[in-house]
Amino acid sequence: MSKTFMMRAIELARFGMGKTSPNPCVGAVIVKGGFVVAEGWHRKAGEKHAEIVAIDSLMKKSGIKTVDIDPALFSNADLYVTLEPCCHFGKTSPCASKVIKARFKNVFIGMKDPFSKVNGKGIWAMKRAGIKVEVVKPDCDLAFEVRSLNQPFIKWAQMGMPYVVLKAGMTLDGKTATRYGESKWITSEAARKDARNLRNLFDAVLVGSGTVKADNPRLGEKLRIVVDGNLSCDPKSQVFRDENCFVACTSCAPLANRRAFEKAGIKFRTFGSRIVSLKSLLKYLGKQGVLSVFVEGGGKIHGGFVDGKLVDKVIFYIAPMIIGDHEAFDVISGTGFSSLKKALRLKDLDVVKVGEDLKVSGEVNFY
């Protein structure tokens, strides 16, 4: 297996990040005589998968106009693909079947597909057809790069829950607003733009009712989730501007508020009696095909996710500013941890400067 060709497949897969959900990002490279002769990546759910894009590309270059695969074109070729070819019918036909028809000499795979309908079945089918198949060993650098591509998909396939990133803009002393709620703007325009670009890579963005009331945000065009136990937000808030919004409430939400939300056409669902169960919410979202959630709530929402051990990655934008004041708003509240040993620790820490601010990110879980 050539590391160079697999890294190229990984590079191609990255073009699909934020666009393929609920499918994973996948890149593919076809190699003949030591040279790349065709490439492909999965662009969008419902469209051709990476392997098929690469196969079709080589056929087109070779002047083959028929949809039937000519094995003579591929029998001396190797296929590098970041994820095991699927073997089931979804929005597209099985990729493994077309790879088998092509009669590739070798197929090199970045990782086995953890989705239950695949999970090694594609590899088994190709081997049974006489194709030599090699999978990247799980303890090497290539494996880390491949798995990094699809952390949301891997977690969802293994646990049925979306991948959760907690994002916040804050001062050096961990404040997100003054005691009077003033927060515009703690971080620079460059940092806010960077955060918006990141948000677009996720299936959903989640905030609490406090953020809606204080800032009246729009939150972009992805699925917008508001945690509002009592359905206390104004139904005319910008976040509820269309049907691409969903509210998580409790059974304690007053009947009058429920009727107001129903009248406004705002979708809501109960997750708990007194407080919203964030874990139950995440499980529900996973069943709806939501693979990733970008949490941008206030301290209470952040604290709920931290206390529940539901955070997979943290991204903080830290401004060179100090507010002080024990009554100012903290980036994370909740019950927290009683000892340093139990505290949430980040791995693979990355620190870069964005505008005037520092962007600090680190992983809690790697799947």
Q: Which amino acids are annotated catalytic?
A: 51
* Contact by Cβ (8 Å): 207, 296: yes
Strands 357-363 and 347-354: antiparallel
Bridge partner residues of 27 (DSSP) = 41
Whether a cis peptide bond, with omega within 30° of 0, leads into 185 is yes
Instruction: Please answer whether residues 106 and 2 qualify as being in contact, where contact means their C-beta atoms are separated by less than 8 angstroms.
Output: no
Which candidate, 40, 58, 39, places its Cα nearest to that of 48?
40
Instruction: State how beta strands 245-249 and 329-330 pair.
Output: unpaired
Backbone angles phi, psi at 223, to 5 degrees: -60, 130
Sign of the torsion angle spanned by Cα atoms 299, 302, 308, 309 = negative
Query: What is the distance between the alpha carbons of residues 330 and 300, in angstroms, rounded to a whole number?
Result: 9
Cα distance between residue 26 and residue 14, in whole Å:
8
Helix (H) or strand (E) holding 146: helix 141-149
Q: How far apart are CA 212 and CA 185, in angstroms?
A: 16
Q: Give the distance from CA 183 to its chain's centroid.
A: 27
Closest C-alpha to 114, from 104, 122, 106, 103: 122
**Cβ neighbours of 259 (radius 10 Å):** 11
Nearest one of 184, 173, 219 to 331, comparing CA atoms = 173
**∠ CA 175-179-184 to the nearest 5 degrees?**
65
Distance, CA of 290 to CA of 234 (rounded, Å): 26
